[in-house]
Amino acid sequence: MALTGLFLCIFLIAHLAGNLQLLDMSPGGQLKFNAYAKFMTTFPLVKAVSYLLYASILFHAFDGLLLAMQNRKARPIKYAYEKANASSKWFSRQMALLGTLVLVFIVIHMKQFWYEMHWGPLGMDADGNKDLYTLVAFSFTQLWYVVLYVIMMGVLAFHLMHGFASAFQSLGLNHPRYMPIIKNVGVFFAVIVPIFFALIPVWMFINA
């Protein structure tokens, strides 16, 4: 969980960096983004990493599901009265639920853009590249998509809020001097990354 989780965190940074280009909504920005999308789907090294990414998502999801089922089995009779919040944060206990929601979002998100980019009927832009930009821009003129994306980024934020530091702990990387730094970086990462992701659909909706 820890290794795939941290790899997915690195992916989030790369994914965000690339997609922040969408904030440039000029015709030039459209061509630049489409050229970038073509590069990301055809350059061999990127393709190789993307297969590692798919495998990581699947492993992270299935391993998480397996662990959650084992954990459920470990306590067949629940407490009648439990003050769980007295000793831990709710999102640290709901990683399986938050993760499932993120997975559902990934499926929707990939169908919407990834699938269309690879196999969908996309038009061509002035440079002869598949016009993914127009599909994205059109999608985010629909309010419910924007709302879904913003809510799901909130879910992702809570998943990362626990997940980031938790991954270090699982790998044994806990040291009195560095753990507070790791925790703070984790919270910063969990807040900043989803906010910037959510900014894209909101920005495109407002400026459509």
Partner 1 sequence: MGNMKLTLKIWRQNGPKAKGELNTYPVNDVSEDMSFLEMLDVLNDDLVRKGEEPIAFDHDCREGICGSCSLFINGEAHGPGRMITTCQLHMRKFKDGDTIHVEPWRAEAFPVIKDLAVDRGAFDRIQAAGGFVSVNTSGNLVDGNAVPIPKADADTAFDAATCIGCGACVATCTNSSAMLFVAAKVSQFALLPQGKPEAKRRVLAMVEQMDKEGFGNCSNTGACEVECPKGISLEHIARMNREYLAASVTKE
Stretch in the footprint of partner 1 (CB under 8 A) among 17-25, 103-111, 129-137, 167-175: 167-175
Closest approach of partner 1 to the CB of residue 99, in Å: 11
74 near partner 1, rule: CB under 8 A: yes
Of positions 58, 67, 192, 208, contacts partner 1 by CB under 8 A: 67
Closest approach of partner 1 to the CB of residue 204, in Å: 36
Residue 124, CA atoms < 13 Å, CB-side half-sphere:
4
Mind giving me the DSSP string for 32-58?
HHHHHHHHHHH-HHHHHHHHHHHHHHH
83 near partner 1, rule: CB under 8 A: yes
60 near partner 1, rule: CB under 8 A: no
Stretch in the footprint of partner 1 (CB under 8 A) among 34-42, 46-54, 81-89, 142-150: 81-89
For 124, residues 6+ apart whose C-beta sits below 8 A from its C-beta are 130, 131
Stretch in the footprint of partner 1 (CB under 8 A) among 40-48, 86-94, 136-144, 187-195: 86-94
SS3 of residue 124 by DSSP = strand
Cα separation, 56 vs 62, whole angstroms: 10
Cβ-based nearer residue to partner 1, 54 or 178:
178
The torsion angles phi and psi of 124, rounded to 5 degrees, stand at: -105, 150
First vs last Cα of the chain: how many Å apart?
A: 39
Residue numbers of the site for partner 1 (CB under 8 A)? 67, 70-71, 73-84, 86-89, 92-93, 95, 162, 165-166, 169-176, 179
